[in-house]
């Protein structure tokens, strides 16, 4: 197993246990962290550029959602980039609504440290399932 993939697996395991400090060990001091989602609905999704900002985003995400299931089912590493396919179940704490989801994560490393992260999720389907927006058509 390549070392960057091993790092991502350790981070995801730490995340599921609520250990956000684990990111500080493997993140570059300045990094670009994006969770691609409309910030009007998902305030935690704004871009972060520091380890402190990333830890704050993760805390905000966990304040809004809990994840009874979070399974990283596929890893692909090419050079300094690791792609991950995650399947899981999210429960919005405020409404208690529960939904299945799939998301893709892109982790970019430089000299063993995370320098960029991007997350891709069908947020429209999630918002419709939570009845926060109406389905059209």
Fold of 3-129: Nuclear Transport Factor 2; Chain: A, (3.10.450)
Radius of gyration (Cα) for the chain, nearest Å?
Answer: 15
Q: What is the pTM of this model?
A: 0.91
| Band of residue 1 on the pLDDT scale cut at 50, 70, 90 | very low
Tally the residues of the chain: 137
Residue 38 has pLDDT above 60, yes or no: yes
pLDDT, tens only, 54-90: 999 999 999 999 999 999 999 999 999 999 999 999 9
How do the domains of the chain map onto residue ranges?
3-129
CA dist 68 to 11, 36, 89, 120, Å? 17, 22, 6, 20
Contact criterion met (CB below 8 Å) for 104 and 20 = no
> Could you tell me where the beta strands, DSSP code E, fall in the chain?
27-36, 48-50, 65-78, 81-92, 98-110, 113-121
Percent of the chain with pLDDT over 70: 99
pLDDT at 2: 56
Q: What is the pLDDT of residues 99-133, one digit of tens each?
A: 999 999 999 999 999 999 999 999 998 899 888 99
User: C-alpha 105: how far from its chain's center?
Assistant: 7
């Amino acid at each position: 197993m390549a070392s960057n993939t091993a790092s991502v697996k350790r981070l995801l395991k730490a995340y599921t246990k609520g250990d956000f400090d684990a990111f500080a060990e493997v993140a570059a001091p300045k990094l670009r962290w994006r969770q691609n989602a409309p910030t009007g609905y998902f305030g935690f999704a704004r871009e972060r550029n520091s380890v402190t900002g990333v830890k704050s985003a993760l805390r905000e995400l966990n304040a809004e959602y809990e994840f009874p299931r979070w399974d990283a089912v596929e890893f692909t590493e090419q050079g300094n980039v690791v792609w991950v396919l995650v399947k899981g179940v999210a429960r919005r704490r405020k409404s208690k609504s529960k939904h299945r989801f799939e998301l893709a994560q892109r982790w970019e490393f430089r000299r063993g440290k995370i320098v960029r992260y991007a997350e891709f999720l069908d947020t429209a389907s999630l918002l419709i399932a939570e009845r926060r927006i109406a389905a059209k058509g």
